[in-house]
Amino acid sequence: MTAHPTSSSSLRRVAVAGASGRMGHMLIEAVRQSGDCQLAGALDMAGSSAIGADASAFLGAPSGVPIVSDLREGLKNAQVLIDFTRPEGTMAHLAVCRELGVQLVIGTTGFSDAQKAEIAAAAKDVAILFAPNMSVGVNVTLKLLEMAAKAMSTGYDIEIIEAHHRHKVDAPSGTALKMGEVIADALGRDLKQCAVYGREGVTGERDPSTIGFATIRGGDIVGDHTVLFAGTGERIEISHKSSSRAGYAQGSLRAVRFLADKRAGLFDMFDVLDLR
């Protein structure tokens, strides 16, 4: 579907940050194929070779939307910004969206606690959907983990193993950390106190109250997450594997639709999928 950035209609006007990134391309393609959204802006970093190019040139079907680095220019026609970039980029986008009243769907991972608090503060003024994984499958998996953790609260050692492509810059993945939080909450533990991020040397025996994390990086792995509940004489593995980024993009569009009638507030995919 071709949509002009200034056409007036009931289509949701969506801008995409990180427009030339792996997720940026998936999102632009999903917006253009959606039928109920229109590409209204495309952002990338100043100095990027993508600046000035048509945002959907990579599809062989121009949109008339140029990729720009000026945030106000890129957001001037948008009702909502989908941001899959880096924490420092998201924080800059957040400030301008808050000022302009543009809603945000944030898929970026790797934020500090202080940055997360800033996102929550901005959500008092503008509606924000913030989730480390937009796929339906991963969010259902989070729900399964909550149930499994409660049922196996003693006698099972919990380890979270994640694997991603060689270009990923943050570890553990945002999804793995969220899995850890969900499990720790279900067990009445504080993830900050009980997480063990990798082991080396003479570590001593495993402390049963810990939740371990292991990270694999290689090739073009889209995103695999496994939670191992290792007991005596048995073990349970709950796994999710992404073989395409399309699910993240489709989930992001569901988030855009969910936000449409929200004036302010901080939401996640549990709200969108009614999993709370």
Ligand X SMILES: O=C(O)C1=N[C@H](C(=O)O)C[C@H](O)C1
Ligand Y SMILES: NC(=O)C1=CN([C@@H]2O[C@H](COP(=O)(O)OP(=O)(O)OC[C@H]3O[C@@H](n4cnc5c(N)ncnc54)[C@H](OP(=O)(O)O)[C@@H]3O)[C@@H](O)[C@H]2O)C=CC1
Residue 276 labelled as part of a binding site: no
Among this protein's residues, is 225 annotated catalytic? no
From 77, 79, 175, 226, residue interacting with ligand X (rule: CB under 6 A): 175
Site for ligand Y in 123-162 (CB under 6 A): 131-134
Give the nearest distance from C-beta 201 to ligand X in angstroms: 27
Closest distance to ligand X from the beta carbon of 90 (Å): 13
Residue 175 in marked binding region: yes
Q: Which C-beta is closer to ligand X: that of 93 or that of 168?
A: 168
> Counting contacts by CB under 6 A, is residue 38 touching ligand Y?
no
Residue whose C-alpha is closest to residue 230's, from 159, 162, 168: 159
Residue 221: count of CB within 10 angstroms of its CB: 17
Instruction: Find which of ligand Y, ligand X, none residue 226 binds, CB within 5 to 8 Å per kind.
Output: none
Residue 89 contact among ligand Y, ligand X, none, beta carbon within 5 to 8 Å by kind: ligand Y
Nearer Cβ to ligand Y (132/152): 132
Window 102 to 141, contacts with ligand X (CB under 6 A)? 109, 132-133
Residue 168 in the binding site for ligand X (CB under 6 A): yes
Q: State yes or no: 21 annotated in a binding site.
A: yes
74 is a contact residue toward ligand X (CB under 6 A): no
Task: Tell me: is residue 18 an annotated ligand-binding position.
Answer: yes
C-alpha span between 9 and 13 (Å, rounded): 9
Which residues carry a binding-site annotation for (S)-2,3,4,5-tetrahydrodipicolinate? 165, 174-175
